[in-house]
Amino acid sequence: MAGLFLLLLTPLLTASWPEALTATFILLPIYMLHQYEEHDHDRFRLFFNATIGKGKEVLSPTAVFITNVPGVWGVITLSLYLAAAGDVGWALIAVYLVLVNALVHVIHAFVFRSYNPGLGTALALFIPFGAHALRQVQIAGGGTPTFHAVGLITAIAIHAAILLHVRRQL
């Protein structure tokens, strides 16, 4: 619900913002909607434990919370603050977090030949909104090779940290 309310407030909150910052801000409520698809009735954790963990709890409720609140909301918020206060290129951290997560959902669906919780919003929201934000940051001049590398490496590192945690649980 918070994601929907933030989307409804976006025109008021971002009216005077540059398009690149607005596009980056929108990624937060978009991610919240994605998290609803994933975590309503604990779908993602149960699915992940059944498929990746093969029935063993490799992803606990605490790990899910840490991943999604500081690891997603916090990272997107920090990225937005850095982009607003410094260089708009910092927004690419949030952009790549969304795009890499979408890719992970698509790869998981392909490997397991089935739907996974979060796949629908990854396809319907992450890819188009992530691509739009990427384009807006590029237009605003923030898409330097260094910022693309920082954004992509940060997003991959966050996902790798999750996999490392899971691997330790196996």
Q: Which two tokens stand for residue 40?
A: 């309503």
The domain segmentation of the chain, as residue ranges, is 41-169
Q: State residue 1's pLDDT score.
A: 82
Alpha helices in 40-91 (DSSP H): 43-51, 61-68, 75-85
Q: State residue 123's pLDDT score.
A: 99
pTM: 0.95
Q: State residue 170's pLDDT score.
A: 87
Q: State residue 108's pLDDT score.
A: 95
- The 8-class DSSP code of residue 122 comes to I
Name which of 106, 82, 104 is nearest 93 in CA terms: 82
List the pLDDT tens digit at each of the 170 positions of the chain. 899 999 999 999 999 999 999 999 999 999 999 999 999 999 999 999 999 999 999 999 999 999 999 999 999 999 999 999 999 999 999 999 999 999 999 999 999 999 999 999 999 999 999 999 999 999 999 999 999 999 999 999 999 999 999 999 98
Q: State residue 148's pLDDT score.
A: 99
Distance of CA 124 to the CA centre of its chain: 13
Please write down the long-range contacts of 85-88, taking CB distance under 8 Å and 24 or more positions apart: 87/142, 87/147, 88/18, 88/20, 88/21, 88/137, 88/140, 88/141, 88/142
Q: State residue 114's pLDDT score.
A: 95
Q: State residue 12's pLDDT score.
A: 96
Q: How many residues does the chain have?
A: 170
Neighbours of 50 (CB within 10 A): 11
